[in-house]
Amino acid sequence: MKRIAVFTSGGDAPGMNAAVRSVMRSASKLGLHVFRINRGYQGMIEGDIQRLENLDVKNIIHRGGTILKTARSNDFRTKEGRQQAADSLMSFDIEGVIAIGGNGTFTGAKIFHEEHHIPFIGVPGTIDNDLYGTDFTIGFDTAINTAIDAIDKIRDTADSHNRLFFIEVMGRHSGFIGLYTGLGSGSSGILIPEKAHDTEALINVLKKGIKRKKLFSLVVVAEGDESGGAMKIAERVKKEFPQYETKVTIIGHLQRGGSPTCMDRILASRLGHAAVKALISGETNKMVGQINNKIKLTPFEDCISKENRPSKDLLELAEILALG
């Protein structure tokens, strides 16, 4: 194998650039030619492919987003679109591909490999931390630190004005961001999709806080919680607490951006290097991940079909620490 390509797909995540840098430098050290596919699968279909050089990855380790850009591609969902993508790769004599992304990215890679037999190795890049086969995904650490920084600032104004704040974080199907930011910020309540919640139970926790003369409360809500988003839950709860001025803050896409943390830079660098080694070793249709500080390969099928859920220990801890 002498010619490989790398692309980023799906939602952007801080640390993707560090992964691209690691892929480029690791491949270069091994004498491989590396090509960049811009705008994910859509760029692959359109032939938006160029040589990637070491100079291109200079001074990008600290940058958020992705220099390769990313896009959703409805065309790639069709057999005709995937054929066009295969033709593009063959026109550049590309022998293997490294895909940096999440569940949807790996689903596409699995189907594409089955149809066209081009080796693919995945690198987990998503802030949601919802991929089976790795303890943490690239971007997750930055996202939770961004959210905690925002919540710490909200805490200041909540304390000053005797307010009840509902803070919505990202996590449509996964509550990792909500759980970690809730624990790390000392919130009075954490509502995430993986755990059924009773609004009455939350109200009771907040009432206990009032009895202890607590002047303000923070509740973290994952956008995909079954009870609804922060706006809906706040409407139900605020009727019980006329003494509080109830506010809602939606942190939103702020969590996707920003310079990656040291942990994300190192994780991305390690996984990018491991992806190159796996590809030239003949591995395919697998994701590189880090489990118990060791590199592990997990088939795309398992990454896609199996769930990565918050541990019961952390969920129990959240209940214990949320005493109002």
Query: Buried b vs exposed e over 180-219: b needs ≥16 C-beta within 10 Å?
Result: bbbbebebbbbbbbbbebeeeebbebbeebbeeeeebbbb
* Confidence class for position 248, pLDDT limits 50, 70, 90: very high
pLDDT over 60 at 320, yes or no: yes
* Amino acid of residue 155: R
Would you state the structure tokens that stand for residue 174, as one six-digit string?
Answer: 């996964």
pLDDT-derived band of residue 68, with 50, 70 and 90 as boundaries? Answer: very high
Residues 313-318 have a mean pLDDT of: 91
Contact in structure between 32 and 276 (CB atoms under 8 Å): yes
Classify residue 44 by burial, with Cβ atoms within 10 Å: 0-12, 13-18, 19+. Answer: buried
316 class by beta-carbon count within 10 Å (0-12 exposed, 13-18 middle, 19+ buried) = exposed
Q: Is the pLDDT of residue 275 over 70?
A: yes
Predicted confidence band of residue 265 (pLDDT cuts 50, 70, 90)? very high
How far apart CA 129 and CA 242 sit, in angstroms, is 37
How many angstroms separate the CA atoms of 287 and 301, rounded?
10
Strand ranges for the chain from DSSP E: 3-8, 33-37, 49-52, 96-101, 120-124, 163-169, 189-191, 217-222, 245-250, 286-291, 294-299
- pLDDT at residue 205 in the model: 79
Query: Has residue 65 got a pLDDT over 90?
Result: yes
Predicted confidence (pLDDT) per residue in 200-247, tens digit: 777 887 877 777 666 568 899 998 767 668 888 888 888 887 777 888
Residue 112: C-alpha distances to residues 108, 109, 121 (Å):
6, 5, 12
* pLDDT greater than 70 at residue 323: no
List the one residue out of 285, 75, 248 whose CA is nearest residue 158: 248
Cα 114 from Cα 134, distance rounded (Å): 24
pLDDT at 324 over 60: no
pLDDT in tens, 90-131: 999 999 999 999 999 999 999 999 999 999 999 999 999 999
- Cα distance between residue 137 and residue 102, in whole Å: 9
Which positions are annotated as active-site residues? 128
Torsion of CA 123, 127, 131, 137, to 10 degrees: 50
pLDDT per residue over 166-184, tens digit each? Answer: 999 998 888 999 999 999 9
What is residue 107's predicted lDDT score, i.e. its pLDDT?
A: 97
Share of the chain above pLDDT 70, in %: 95
Looking at every residue in the chain, the average pLDDT score rounds to 92
C-alpha pair distances (Å), 144 with each of 58, 81, 96, 133, 166: 27, 36, 33, 20, 16
Q: Could you tell me what percent of the chain has a pLDDT over 90?
A: 73
List the domains of the chain with CATH numbers. 3-139+260-305 (3.40.50.450), 142-256 (3.40.50.460)
